[in-house]
């Protein structure tokens, strides 16, 4: 087994290993350090003699490293004895079993004492098993920045005395929104990168889906967990059609819908059905919008009136300028550019989304549809200057050229 095999096992099992070690040692940092040492040892040992149970080997090795570290702490000899003798520690990891340890790790990584940036970094690092280098590449920040966020997060959790345990019902519900928010941010960055030379970052998006599936399995009675899972699955179903072979973006109206992932669509619709049982929240409403697109054969045959209604419901439960902007796009398709432009102009007047390329992009397209070409060109040129994603910028510049 080579480095790629070690990486694959670590990506799948890291959350369980770190979670189990954290529960037994009571030390978040020690658990991750011990797990990382086990991975380093695997990179050396596995090419020569591959273990029959790679996940169990990592768990056993990481536990030994944790015991060694505790043994060196003379004040914790009693804890070492308890850990070494604990009959509940099992080296054999069942790949089909999902423990509450994983959910506890997710809630610890998304604790309210941490900033959103730190929550994202810590969740990807500890729960997702991504390296600091991978996280840095995904969010286009320096590796030391990611490492600093992870370190600050661990210190903040230790300083606050955050216990490694699944929060009680009320507290869990209060923290669930933060967990879902982090997973949503991770998926959104993967589905439409804010900067860089690629439109999609599939590895990041699929990692968010994997974590959301884990959360859905552990919190089966939470509708919004299923709503987020449905949104992610239905959005990811379009990935195969969203870029051309050269990586350039393909707009919705030009996509070959035969390339949409049917299996992902079915999974998304099934998750949406579960979310609908308790009434749709913000993620469920967005998933319902994605489902409406999934059921249409073309842009022209899409039920835009339904999408407008869903956006209006979303504005009531989770108002934001981005939701208003998306509502304007749907209104333009359902009722024409005039009422849609009024919505966008209200956003401009109120100074919403300053510095974002999204508002001038939508406004430019609406002005073009109204035949106000010089104004449209100016808006799209502004959008291109503000856009940090090279793929999106190229689309905007082509649109400017077409208007000229």
**pLDDT tens track for 33-73:** 898 899 889 888 888 888 888 888 998 998 988 888 887 76
How far is the CA of 188 from the CAs of 109, 117, 180, 361, in angstroms? 19, 14, 12, 19
Write the pLDDT tens digit of every residue in 244-300: 998 889 999 999 999 999 999 999 999 999 999 978 999 999 999 999 999 999 999
- Rounded average pLDDT over 302-328: 96
| Burial track 247-262 (b if 16+ CB lie within 10 A, e otherwise) | eebbeeeebeeeebbe
pLDDT at 209 over 90: yes
pLDDT at 212: 92
pLDDT at 275: 96
Structural domain contains residue 186: no
pLDDT at 92 over 60: no
Using pLDDT thresholds of 50, 70 and 90, give the confidence band for residue 384.
very high
Are 235 and 248 contacting, i.e. CB atoms less than 8 angstroms apart? Answer: no
CA Rg value for the chain: 24
Range of the domain at 73: 3-85
Which of 40-44, 82-86, 96-100: highest mean pLDDT? 40-44
Are 23 and 101 contacting, i.e. CB atoms less than 8 angstroms apart? Answer: yes
Query: DSSP class of residue 370?
Result: T
Calculate the average pLDDT of the chain.
87
Using pLDDT thresholds of 50, 70 and 90, give the confidence band for residue 167.
confident
**Angle between helical axes of 28-45 and 3-25 (0-180°, round to 10):** 150
Tell me the percentage of the chain whose pLDDT exceeds 90: 46
Write the pLDDT tens digit of every residue in 327-348: 999 999 999 999 999 999 999 9
Structural domain contains residue 368: no
The two structure tokens encoding residue 1: 């087994």
Structural domain contains residue 71: yes
Using pLDDT thresholds of 50, 70 and 90, give the confidence band for residue 144.
very high
pLDDT at 318: 93
pLDDT at 81 over 60: no
Are 344 and 366 contacting, i.e. CB atoms less than 8 angstroms apart? Answer: yes
Q: What DSSP string describes 80-140?
A: HHHHHH-TT--S---TT---HHHHHHHHHHT-TTS-HHHHHHHIIIIIS---HHHHHHHHT
What does residue 243 show for φ and ψ, rounded to 5 degrees? -130, 145
pLDDT at 164 over 70: yes
Q: How many domains does the chain have?
A: 1
Rounded distance, CA 264 to CA 251, Å? 20
Q: Would you give the end-to-end CA distance of the chain in angstroms?
A: 57
Q: Which residue has the tokens 């600093």?
A: 148
Higher pLDDT, 108 or 384: 384
Structural domain contains residue 298: no
Measured in whole angstroms, the distance separating CA 346 from the mean position of its chain's CA atoms is: 30
Query: DSSP class of residue 183?
Result: H
Q: Which residues pair with 196 in a beta bridge?
A: 389
pLDDT at 94: 47
Structural domain contains residue 140: no
Which of 3-17, 59-73, 178-192, 283-297: highest mean pLDDT? 283-297
Using pLDDT thresholds of 50, 70 and 90, give the confidence band for residue 89.
very low
Are 2 and 80 contacting, i.e. CB atoms less than 8 angstroms apart? Answer: no
In 298-336, which residue ranges form alpha helices assigned H by DSSP?
A: 304-317, 321-335
């Amino acid at each position: 087994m080579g480095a790629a095999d070690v990486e694959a096992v670590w990506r799948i099992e890291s959350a369980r290993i770190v979670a189990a070690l954290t529960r037994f040692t009571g030390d978040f940092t020690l658990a991750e350090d011990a797990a990382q040492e086990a991975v380093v040892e695997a990179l050396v040992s596995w090419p020569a003699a591959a273990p029959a149970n790679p996940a169990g080997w990592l768990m056993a090795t990481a536990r030994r490293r944790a015991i060694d570290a505790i043994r060196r702490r003379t004040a914790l000899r009693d804890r070492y004895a308890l850990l070494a003798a604990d009959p509940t520690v099992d080296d054999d990891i069942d790949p089909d079993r999902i423990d509450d340890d994983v959910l506890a790790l997710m809630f610890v990584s998304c604790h309210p004492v941490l900033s959103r940036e730190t929550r994202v970094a810590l969740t990807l690092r500890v729960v997702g098993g991504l390296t600091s280098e991978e996280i840095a590449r995904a969010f286009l920040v320096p590796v030391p920045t990611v490492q600093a966020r992870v370190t600050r997060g661990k210190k903040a959790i230790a300083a606050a005395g955050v216990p490694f345990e699944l929060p009680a019902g009320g507290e869990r519900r209060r923290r669930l929104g933060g967990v879902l928010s982090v997973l949503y941010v991770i998926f959104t960055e993967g589905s439409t990168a804010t900067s860089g030379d690629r439109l999609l970052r599939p590895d990041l998006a699929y990692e968010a889906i994997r974590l959301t599936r884990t959360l859905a399995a552990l919190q089966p009675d939470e509708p919004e967990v299923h709503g987020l899972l449905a949104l992610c699955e239905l959005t990811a179903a379009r990935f195969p059609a969203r870029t051309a072979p050269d990586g350039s973006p393909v707009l919705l109206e030009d996509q070959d819908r035969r390339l949409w992932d049917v299996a992902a669509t079915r999974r998304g619709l099934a998750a949406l059905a579960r979310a609908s049982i308790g009434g749709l929240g913000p993620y469920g409403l967005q998933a319902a919008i994605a489902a409406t697109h999934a059921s249409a054969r073309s842009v022209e045959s899409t039920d835009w009136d339904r999408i407008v209604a869903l956006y209006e419901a979303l504005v009531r439960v989770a108002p934001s300028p981005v939701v208003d902007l998306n509502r304007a796009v749907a209104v333009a398709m359902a009722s024409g550019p005039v009422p849609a432009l009024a919505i966008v102009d209200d956003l401009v007047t109120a100074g919403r989304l300053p510095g974002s390329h999204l508002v001038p992009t939508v406004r430019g397209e609406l002005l073009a549809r109204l035949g106000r070409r010089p104004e449209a060109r100016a808006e799209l040129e502004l959008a291109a200057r503000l856009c940090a994603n090279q793929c999106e910028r190229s689309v905007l510049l082509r649109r400017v050229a077409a208007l000229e």
